[in-house]
Amino acid sequence: MELTAKAWSKSLESEMLQRWQREPHPERKGKTLTIDTPPPYPSGRPWHIGAAAHYAQIDMIARASRLLGWNVRFPIGIDRNGVPVEMYTEKKLGISLHTTPREQFVAACRTALDDLEAEMLSIMKTMGLSGDFAHVYRTDSPEYRSRTQATFIDLWKRGLIYEDSRLNNWCPGCMTTVSDNEVGYKEIPTFLNHVEFRVKETGQQITIATTRPELLCTAALVVFNPRDERYHSLEGKTALVPFYNLEIPIISHPIADPAFGSGLMYMSRSAGDLNAVRFLREMGIPYDVCITEEGRMNDKAGPLVGLSVRKARERISDELRKLGVLAKEEQINHQTPVCERSKHEIEYIAMPEYYLKQVEFLPVLKQYAQEMGFHPEAHRQILLDWIAAVTMDWPISRRRFYATEIPIWYCAACRHPHLPTPGSYVQPWKDTAPFAACTKCGNDRFVGEDRTFDTWMDSSISPLVVTGYFTDKGLHRKLAATVVRPQAKDIIRTWLFYSLLRCHQLTGKRAFARAWIMGYGVDEKGEKMSKSKGNVIDPIPILEKYGADQFRFWCAQETSLGSDFRCSEDRIVGAGKFLTKLWNTVRFIAPFQSKEPAAVRPLDQWILNELASLVKQCKAGYDDLNFFVPATAIRTFLWNVFAPHYLELAKVRAYRGDAAAIQTLHTCLRALLQLLSPITPFITDYLHRELYGSPVTGQPFPKPPAARKLPFTTDQLLQLDSMIWKAKKDRGLSLKAPVALLTVPAAFASIEQELVETHGVQQVARGEPAVQLA
């Protein structure tokens, strides 16, 4: 065979891809492992290099599992529902969801998604993902959406869904209710306004500090802490709200912090934060929102009506200043709740929304979180912490367009809800109701629901979709116990949590055997990549420049499982050298062929011992789905032990045609290629075919050679070689220069021949290691 080139060429990768397309992975006999591949979300260009790295590693899960003997199902899906594409479309086309006809807007989103999706799929293919590209599923397909709807209908019938109007997180930008885990916090500078109220009964002046003066129009109470003795005399009195001249009671309640401001707070019926939401609920005070869905003041705000919340805040401060009741304005940084999607400041508005019960399922979810496997183990805690923090049911309805529709029609007369039979995809906002008459009042006119689902309602059933729950219950039962969920760390509280919840509600079982959690790809300074920072690295030019295997090897050896990893082009370049090293090692070994059986010499046994330990390390790494372990172990073996020491010492024998040396070289090489194949499938498959005439895939996991005790250790041998090289180097001699006298301990007697031949030793003596040059 001919390996004339001096290095592996990434152009061979497309050749290999075509080859693989012609010969798909053979079904194996063993048990089946299903990967619940995270369907990536096409939210804009470029696709994040960290995401590409993530999928490269998921392919390593697939390939490593096959190498370990599993039959692997590796579906490929794309998540296409929800706000990100709507925002992308609004920005790209300069249109607004709220002013564009729904049909038209949905079509524009679909076009955008198709383009972005094509690019992601092409990247996945280029990287050599061994997934099922023939059956890509899309979460916005009528088929998938019909399943989301079917599960909703199921849960509805079982009484797990209810509608309620309660104060909830509202994003004025997205114009929808959002759930707690879509809310983030951002430090925003604002003013803490010290506003003077008067006590009606005594005329006494009291000061109240607030960041939300624009909510004064709905002021309900003034509160002080019962432990705060300064204000005991105010209990039961009445406060006069400036500007609006409202009369509100003063009460004591522990919610007020004596150390904050003056120790007095006012509570608005239009809650300014979650704490207030809870307080109102606890006190049984009906809410009375003074903010509109667009984030403007409504008519309750009197003269402020129509102003944005922010403008209203400035305006009321002006008014209070004019009245002489604004004692102080302090600039503070405020941890402000913002929408994680659109970054708008969250307001608390009550809208009727559907809720899915989750609180009562927390104990079983906790149990699942404790039972299932986690790679790495440490990340289990993130899920447990989240489960412990959940206090409310999940609001699942959204007032958006590009998402799965809630499958309900209401009787036009009595508003009674009607749900269709599960199975087909329905769009109540445009479809005619599939009912003859209202089951309650007999009326024959219906109004379709126009709200959609939170997208996690769709993605949380992916473990069921990929195991055939909706198409083949028998298959599902067979596959369900061995599902592996790979995903990023940041969506533990959403995707992982909701999947466990929903699958439990639908099947009564735990969705996953194991979860594999990867860290974030950060930039080379260690900072999070974000489009706003402009430090997002596009994977396409990287893959074009360096090829898939180089990228994959970099991914594997960059960081241990679960930690964040820095994306630095320099280090990707560095990873490529390994492929060249491997290539040239093969280039050296390939020409040597020997069929006759031969007994190994002690030197051969030494490297076989090392190989045995390598095989065990790789097995442990692959079992833990931690590719850092095999990648670094293989690299160290090849570069620090096998090539510089064994290869050099066995070289002369190999040239001579020594069968034991040649067979040992091939034993090591073959095992190396197989052990490495999950990480760098292109080069290993190419070389395995060239040398051994068969694909590297489909081989069983390499067996560790039988190890035998030797009189010298690896460290001793490495140090001996190094000592000789250093001696020559110090004298400015070539490494081929002869050694006049080499003194070695008796332990090396069995490999003396190789030492002599390799280092050009003229005479050998026994004793502590020493080199004497001519």
Which residues from 169-198 bind RNA, rule CB under 7 A? Answer: 180-181, 185, 190, 192
570 binds RNA (CB under 7 A): yes
186 CB contacts (<8 Å, ≥6 apart)? 335, 336, 338, 343
Amino acid identity of 648?
A: E
For RNA, give the closer residue by CB, 151 or 179: 179
Q: Which two tokens stand for residue 401?
A: 């367009």
Cα distances (angstroms) measured from residue 313 to each of 216, 292, 301, 721: 10, 15, 11, 77
502: enclosing H helix or E strand: helix 497-507
For RNA, give the closer residue by CB, 315 or 476: 315
For RNA, give the closer residue by CB, 446 or 686: 686
Nearest distance in Å: CB 584, RNA:
3
The contact mask relative to RNA for 315-354 (x = CB under 7 A, - = no) is -----------------x-xx-x-----------------
- Residue 541's CB is within 10 A of a number of other CB atoms, namely 12
For RNA, give the closer residue by CB, 506 or 654: 654
Q: Which two tokens stand for residue 22?
A: 């012609």
148 binds RNA (CB under 7 A): no
Nearest distance in Å: CB 698, RNA:
27
593 binds RNA (CB under 7 A): no
Q: Stretches 71-79, 261-269, 281-289, 677-685: which one binds RNA (CB under 7 A)?
A: 261-269
Half-sphere exposure of residue 43, counting CA atoms within 13 Å on the CB side?
A: 15
Residue keyed to tokens 């008796």? 746
Q: DSSP letter at 657?
A: T
Nearest distance in Å: CB 263, RNA:
6
The contact mask relative to RNA for 274-313 (x = CB under 7 A, - = no) is xxx-x-----------------------------------
C-alpha to C-alpha distance for 552 and 684, rounded to whole angstroms: 13
206 binds RNA (CB under 7 A): no
Residues 78, 711 contacting (CB under 8 angstroms): no
For RNA, give the closer residue by CB, 576 or 681: 576
Alpha-helical segments (H) within 693-767: 714-730, 752-759
Which positions from 642 through 661 interact with RNA, judged by CB under 7 A? 643-644, 647-648, 651
560 binds RNA (CB under 7 A): yes
User: Does residue 453 sit in helix, strand or coil?
Assistant: strand
585 binds RNA (CB under 7 A): yes
576 binds RNA (CB under 7 A): yes
The contact mask relative to RNA for 422-461 (x = CB under 7 A, - = no) is ----------------------------------------
Residues 683, 674 contacting (CB under 8 angstroms): no
Q: Stretches 21-29, 402-410, 502-510, 719-727: which one binds RNA (CB under 7 A)?
A: 719-727
Q: DSSP letter at 767?
A: S
504 binds RNA (CB under 7 A): no
For RNA, give the closer residue by CB, 210 or 680: 210
Nearest distance in Å: CB 338, RNA:
10
Q: Stretches 39-47, 90-98, 202-210, 606-614: which one binds RNA (CB under 7 A)?
A: 202-210
Q: Is the link from the previous residue into 434 a cis peptide, with omega within 30 of 0? A: no
Q: Which of 28, 344, 477, 493 binds RNA (CB under 7 A)?
A: 493
Q: Concatenated DSSP letters for 97-163? A: TTTS-HHHHHHHHHHHHHHHHHHHHHHHHHTT--SEEEEEEETTSHHHHHHHHHHHHHHHHTT-EEE
Which positions from 240 through 259 interact with RNA, judged by CB under 7 A? 255-257
For RNA, give the closer residue by CB, 35 or 264: 264
385 binds RNA (CB under 7 A): yes
Q: Stretches 114-122, 308-316, 464-472, 576-584: which one binds RNA (CB under 7 A)?
A: 576-584
Half-sphere exposure of residue 721, counting CA atoms within 13 Å on the CB side?
A: 20
Nearest distance in Å: CB 70, RNA:
26
Distance between alpha carbon 450 and the CA centroid of its chain, in Å? 31
Which positions from 613 through 632 interact with RNA, judged by CB under 7 A? 632
770 binds RNA (CB under 7 A): no
530 binds RNA (CB under 7 A): no
C-alpha to C-alpha distance for 560 and 492, rounded to whole angstroms: 19
Q: Which of 195, 241, 369, 382 binds RNA (CB under 7 A)?
A: 382
Which positions from 48 through 67 interact with RNA, judged by CB under 7 A? none
For RNA, give the closer residue by CB, 444 or 490: 490
The long-range contacts involving 749-752, CB below 8 angstroms and separated by at least 24 positions, are 749/711, 750/601, 750/602, 750/603, 750/710, 750/711, 751/601, 751/602, 751/603, 751/606, 751/649, 751/712, 751/717
C-alpha to C-alpha distance for 212 and 191, rounded to whole angstroms: 9
Which positions from 727 through 766 interact with RNA, judged by CB under 7 A? 729, 732, 734-736
- Label residues 580-594 b or e (16+ Cβ within 10 Å = b): ebbbbbbbbbbebeb
